[in-house]
Chain A
Amino acid sequence: MATIRFTQNIQRHVPCPTREAEGSDLRTVLDHYFRENERARGYVLDEQGKIRQHMVVFIDGEMALDREKLSDRVQPGSVIDVIQSLSGG
C-alpha cells in the first residue's frame, strides 16, 4: 500500500485526507484513492486523466515524470505527495 498526501491548499475546496491505496503505478494508486473521493479527481487530473498543468506529484521525493499516462512505478510503502506547482501562481 502507498500513502497519498495532499497539499493543504486543496483542502478548503475539497477535503483530501491522507490515505493508503493499492497499486504498482501512479495511475492505479490515484484511481483507487479517487474512487473513494470522486470530487477530488478533477482538482488533480484534467478530464483526459492527465496531471493538471500546474500540479505536480512526487513519489518518495522524486517528481513523477509521466504526466499523461501516470505510469511511474510505485513501491509498497511509497509516499506520494500531490502538491501545487509554483508555475500556477
Chain B
Amino acid sequence: MSDRCYISTRKGLFTVTRGKSRWTIKKAAFVGDNVTVMMADPRNGELLATLNHGHFGVKMQRSRNGGRTWKESTTPQYPPMPEGYVPKPVPFFDKPLDWSLKLVWSIVPGGADQPGVVWCGTRPGGLFKSEDNGDSWELVRSLWDDPMRELWGPNGAEWPGIHSICVDPRDSSHITIGISSGGVWITRDGGKTWKVTGGGLRSDYVPEGQTQDPNTQDVHCLTQCAADPEKFWIQHHNGIFKSTDGAASWSEIKDVKPAVFGFPVAVHPKDPNTAWFVPSTKDEKRCPTDGCVVVNRTRDGGQTFETLRKGLPQKYAYDLVYRHALDVDETGDRLVFGSTTGSVWISEDGGDSWKEVSSNLPPVYAVNFAK
C-alpha cells in the first residue's frame, strides 16, 4: 500500500505523504517551474522529473535520494534530419513536423527483468529508450521511420505525441503504446518492429470513411491490467473502450452518465473489470457536467458504472483532470487525482469516498503513487 505520491504541476513538483490519519503536502521541488510528468522507478527508487522551461526547452532532473536533491540529467534529443528529407505537414495542421523535442509526455520504467531500461514518449511523436536509467537516450527509429507515423494527427497541441506506454508484466519486450492522435501500436520484440492495432476504435469527428482508421485514433489514455495483461482500457476522445484480447480489438462502451468524454483512466491492478474515469462534458466545454466533480467506476467490465461523489465538490466546480492526473496504487484501494484548478483528492476505499489534500496547488499535470 502506497503512503506517498508525487504531484507534477505547472509550478513545481509536490510530495504528498500519509501521516497517521491524513495526507499532507510534505515537500515542494522546482517551485515556479513547469513539471509535466515524472517517474518513480520501483526498481531502484530513483525519481526522474521532466520540466518544460518554455523558453529554454525540455529538461530532465534526477533524484537518487527520494527527492532530497536533484541533478540535471540527459534529455532525449531528436537526431538530425536525413539529407534531403522534407517532413510532411502534420494532418489537420498545415505545418511540417519539427524534429525537436516539444514535450516529454510519458516516462515509464522497463520491466523488472530489465534494470536500467526506461521508455519515454514525447511530442512530436518520438519514442525514446534508455538502457542506463536515463543517462542516455535513443530514438526508436523503427517506429519513427514507419511511414504511417507521418500520418499521426495533432491533439490539443500542434504535434502528435505518445502519452501511454504499457510494458507487459509477462514479457518486457511486449509493449503497447497509446498515441494522440495515432491510435495504439504494439511491439513484441522490444521495439524492433511495430504494428498498429485498434480495430473497433472509432472517431466520430473525422470525415465518413475515416472514422475507423486505427492510425489516427485520438487515444487520450491507455492502461493495462497488471494481473490480467490481456485486458486494456482506453479513455478516447470519442468515449470509453475496452479490450479483452491484448489490444487487438476494442469494444465501445456507450451511454455512460454523466459523460463518456474525459482524459484519464486507471484500472485496478488485480481486477481487470474495475476501472475509474473522470468524466467531463464533451468536448469543446471540457469541464465537469453541471459543475459537479465526479469519478465514474465500473466493477463489471463496463456493463454498469457508479458515479462517485462523496467528498468531491458538487457545486460550481470546474476542475478538469488531465490524462496523467489519476493514479491507483498497487492494492487498488488508494487512488489520487488532481485537477487543472489545483485540487488534489485521495481515496482509500477504491473511490467510495474522497478527501481533499489541497485546493491551492498550481494546475496539476500528473500524479504518481510511489509503488
Measured CB to CB, the residues of A under 8 A from B are: 9-10, 13, 39, 42-44, 46-48, 50, 52, 54-55, 84-85, 88-89
A-contact bits for B164-188, CB 8 A (1 contact / 0 none): 0000000000000000000000000
Known contacts being A42-B75, A47-B78, is A52 close to B55, with CB within 8 Å?
yes
Q: Is the CB–CB distance between B78 and A48 below 8 Å?
A: yes
Known contacts being A48-B78, A48-B80, A48-B99, is A43 close to B57, with CB within 8 Å?
yes
Measured CB to CB, the residues of B under 8 A from A are: 53-57, 59, 72, 75, 77-81, 98-101
Q: In this complex, which of A43, A46, A50, A85 has the most chain B Cβ atoms within 10 angstroms of its Cβ?
A: A46
Q: Is the CB–CB distance between B54 and A89 below 8 Å?
A: yes
* Contacts A43-B53, A48-B80, A48-B98 known; 19 new A-B pairs at CB < 8 A: A9-B55, A13-B56, A39-B72, A42-B57, A42-B75, A42-B77, A43-B57, A46-B100, A46-B101, A47-B77, A47-B79, A47-B99, A47-B100, A47-B101, A48-B81, A52-B55, A54-B55, A55-B55, A85-B55
A-B CB contact pairs (8 Å), 21 listed: A9-B55, A10-B56, A13-B53, A13-B56, A13-B59, A42-B57, A42-B59, A43-B56, A46-B100, A47-B79, A47-B101, A48-B98, A48-B99, A48-B100, A50-B100, A52-B55, A52-B56, A54-B55, A88-B54, A88-B55, A89-B54
| A9 (CB) vs chain B CBs: closest residue | B55
Q: How far is the CA of A52 from the CA of B101 in the complex (A)?
A: 11
